[in-house]
Chains A and B, each alone.
Chain A
């Protein structure tokens, strides 16, 4: 049976993930238990959401660096609105967060798609601008747990169901559903395939009459909206929102995307891989805190190393493939 490159990638990722968990289990006493799962799954849920949004953007040969600031802003503004109107129907709140995030994303998308500005510069700028908006509007005052409705602060630990001692939190379920919906959209819908087409060959996409601007705009809106939903979860998990909320998430999201096998130059990738990438990054991140041999200050360096390895492996793989193609052409 012929295994496609994409399937192979997922199998390799799962292997690396299993090896990582086993490694930490051998190093840290009492590592493998249900508590670990329950603790880590919540933060994986948040990272997976923003990573999926990032994947949409990266597929189109762009990048969204502003995502951490968007998470911080939506968490703060959603919290602020809830403090002012504590009686808002709970179901409306995540939608509100997605709307706020979507507006931030739309601004990014408008600048990139309409004026054809390089997304790395646009989102680097909005990363700083959105953060400043957060700092300015909070004016030093933070959102605190006790001023938020109880349903919200307890939501993050509420279970949808549990398997033995493994508790399946609602936020985890929502996150997995989002990943699955994104996967079906990207693989089974014509509109989804256009994200791949644009990233794979922008010139050919233009020749094929695909509206690249609209699709790229949409990618940034999706990225913003999912960051908004992540902001809602962030708010629910931590309650206390300060001006540093969501700081550094752009690194984690880009990391999860490339480790998950999305080509950083666009055109190929799979959000199921991105989910595993997010889980891998978060497991390493949280486990290093407990590993005594290595100072936890190395966490960022390990994440960086992981990204480098993933990109290097990917590049070598692609070169091999291209070489095979040119060799074939000379027969």
Chain B
């Protein structure tokens, strides 16, 4: 069959990190092609390159045997390539019909609402769905908004439709309907690229499966020739050189945190675990497994609805971050920009922010000298590289920003430290340093909880690994007994093959 779209040896890197390396992919009309890979394997970059949001550093995109260059999404759309995402991109104030036809340049300048609504209804009907075209998009459910997006794509004569984790926020019933839509498109000759973490969906839907890892193409096979086990092995299979060494545990055996049946409606359910002083416990799982929500609940940002939290043998209620801090809990967010650092402020000001009371004298007058003294100590201890303590942290490298975040929370002298994605987006050297910092904290008797999507990191740091999936803890491993395949198998819910 003649392929509709071919990506040939596409490479793309950002700063020092390579997101795609000589990646090739061929999409054929009338087929559903699944793409799987771990978090950070480069799937998002691939989609953004296909839809013109990113331009590849090298390699070419070929449509109908002709090389093309996409300067933006409009170019990609003209060539018949469109994408829908987990979070639909709709215009909430506009009606369904308008959302579908908004980017149509070939329609008459004067809108005939009756015709437009009729055409929109017909377009939606082709997907086997009924939806009033006059309703405002803001009133629709996520699944309905997705339907609108798909209808927009087909109205533009889409030939390649990329579906990026479309089922992640949908109910079972809605997923079934989505599958129906995908199959209908396939039967109409569209090439569908389907990306999902849920491996069982791939067997239900796809004709072909491509596995990618670390920005590279690993395999492409007909779905009949793969099993969940073979996919997982290819998704995680790394050579040992990429691994960090393990170190002996500092677990004191003295229990600090005990969590029983913690739940928050719509997020996580019946989460129970414990952490000892000096122990490092890692939460592993896929993006969307709700691990961060558990962290946010323990820090009081989004408190749990029910369940019991005991700290040092006492039942505690954590309703807000201030209470959490008073109890000796610190939380280092994965989102440095939004929840972590004041980017325009200096290192010292960031480090002392949660503890300003410590530096305040009469009338709230701040003792700048003590602030600077403490910040200097942390800078030395954590090896923060910066010209001085007042340069805006926004100008530092990711690794150094992460160290400032750690310093900020270590300054609160926590008993329990929760770190969400401690090394995301930082280079290998800084990564090793951060790992060392976390280990020495455990050695000092701090109970450390790490939420990480980086499996090698988990396997090298964890004294125990807890695996979450869809808001529940689904398995536990001793750190030295965990393997990436075993963890991944639980994370994606594959039956043991």
The residues of A with any CB-CB pair to B shorter than 8 Å are 5, 187-191, 193-194, 196-197, 199-201, 203-210, 263, 267-268, 321-322, 324-325, 328-331
Contacts and interface: CB of A to CB of B under 8 A. Distances in A.
Counting from the closest, the 9 A-B pairs by CB-CB distance are: A209-B74, A208-B103, A267-B93, A200-B93, A200-B91, A268-B93, A204-B89, A329-B141, A201-B91
A197 B94 contact: yes
Best-buried of A197, A199, A207, A210 by chain B (most CB within 10 Å): A207
Contacts of B111: 187-190, 193
B90 A322 contact: no
Contacts of A268: 93
B72 A209 contact: yes
A205 B73 CA distance: 11
B139 A325 contact: yes
Interface in B152-172: 169, 171
10 contacts: A190-B108, A190-B111, A200-B94, A205-B91, A209-B73, A209-B103, A267-B91, A321-B138, A324-B139, A331-B171
Interface in B83-99: 89-94, 98
Given A200-B93, A268-B93, A321 B109 contact: no
A207 B109 CA distance: 21
Contact of B98 (A193, A205, A321, A330): A193
B90 A204 contact: yes
Nearest to A329: B141
A206 B73 contact: yes
A329 B98 CA distance: 22
A210 B103 contact: yes
B140 interface: yes
**Chief secondary structure at chain A's binding surface:** helix
A196 B136 CA distance: 13
A193 B141 contact: no
A205 B72 CA distance: 12
B136 to A, nearest CB: 8
B360 interface: no
Contacts of B90: 201, 204
Contact of B107 (A5, A190, A200, A267): A190
A201 B92 contact: yes
Interface in B239-275: 266
Interface of B: 72-74, 77, 89-94, 98, 102-103, 105, 107-111, 113, 136, 138-143, 169, 171, 266
Given A190-B109, A193-B111, A330-B266, A263 B73 contact: no
Given A188-B111, A190-B109, A190-B111, A208 B92 contact: no
Given A190-B111, A206-B73, A197 B91 contact: yes
Given A193-B98, A193-B102, A207 B73 contact: yes
A215 to B, nearest CB: 12
Contacts of B98: 193, 197
Contacts of A267: 91-94
A268 B139 CA distance: 14
B380 to A, nearest CB: 40
Contacts of B171: 331
Contacts of A189: 109-111
B266 A196 contact: no
A203 B98 CA distance: 16
A189 B266 CA distance: 42
A193 B116 CA distance: 13
Contacts, number: 79
A203 B103 contact: no
A266 to B, nearest CB: 8
A4 to B, nearest CB: 8
Contacts of B89: 201, 203-204, 207
Contacts of A330: 266
Best-buried of A196, A200, A201, A330 by chain B (most CB within 10 Å): A200
Nearest to A269: B93
A143 to B, nearest CB: 41
Contacts of A322: 138
Given A200-B93, A322-B138, 4 more contacts: A188-B110, A200-B92, A324-B139, A325-B140
A208 B102 contact: yes
A122 to B, nearest CB: 22
A104 to B, nearest CB: 28
Contacts of A188: 110-111, 113
Best-buried of B89, B107, B140 by chain A (most CB within 10 Å): B89
Given A206-B73, A209-B77, A325-B141, A193 B94 contact: yes
A203 B91 CA distance: 9
A271 to B, nearest CB: 15
Contacts of B143: 329
Given A190-B109, A208-B103, A329 B142 contact: yes
Contacts of B103: 208-210
A208 B169 CA distance: 23
Contacts of A263: 93
A196 B94 contact: yes
A328 B145 CA distance: 12
Nearest to B103: A208
Contacts of B136: 5
Contact of A321 (B72, B139, B141, B266): B139
A204 B77 CA distance: 13
Contacts of B91: 196-197, 200-201, 204-205, 267
A276 B72 CA distance: 42
Best-buried of B90, B92, B109, B143 by chain A (most CB within 10 Å): B92
A327 to B, nearest CB: 10
Best-buried of B89, B90, B93 by chain A (most CB within 10 Å): B93
B76 to A, nearest CB: 10
Contacts of A199: 93
A328 B92 contact: no
B396 to A, nearest CB: 25
A177 B110 CA distance: 19
A246 B418 CA distance: 58
B2 to A, nearest CB: 27
B375 to A, nearest CB: 33
A185 to B, nearest CB: 10
Best-buried of A187, A193, A324, A329 by chain B (most CB within 10 Å): A329
Given A208-B102, A209-B72, A209-B103, A196 B93 contact: yes
Contacts of A324: 139
Contacts of B142: 329
A306 to B, nearest CB: 24
A322 to B, nearest CB: 7
Contacts of B169: 329
B264 to A, nearest CB: 13
A54 to B, nearest CB: 18
Nearest to A191: B109
Contacts of A208: 73-74, 102-103
Contacts of B139: 321, 324-325, 328
Given A190-B109, A191-B109, A267-B93, A197 B102 contact: yes
A210 to B, nearest CB: 7
Contacts of B110: 188-190
Contacts of A209: 72-74, 77, 103, 105
Nearest to A328: B141
B226 to A, nearest CB: 33
B114 to A, nearest CB: 12
Contacts of A328: 139, 141
Contacts of B92: 200-201, 267
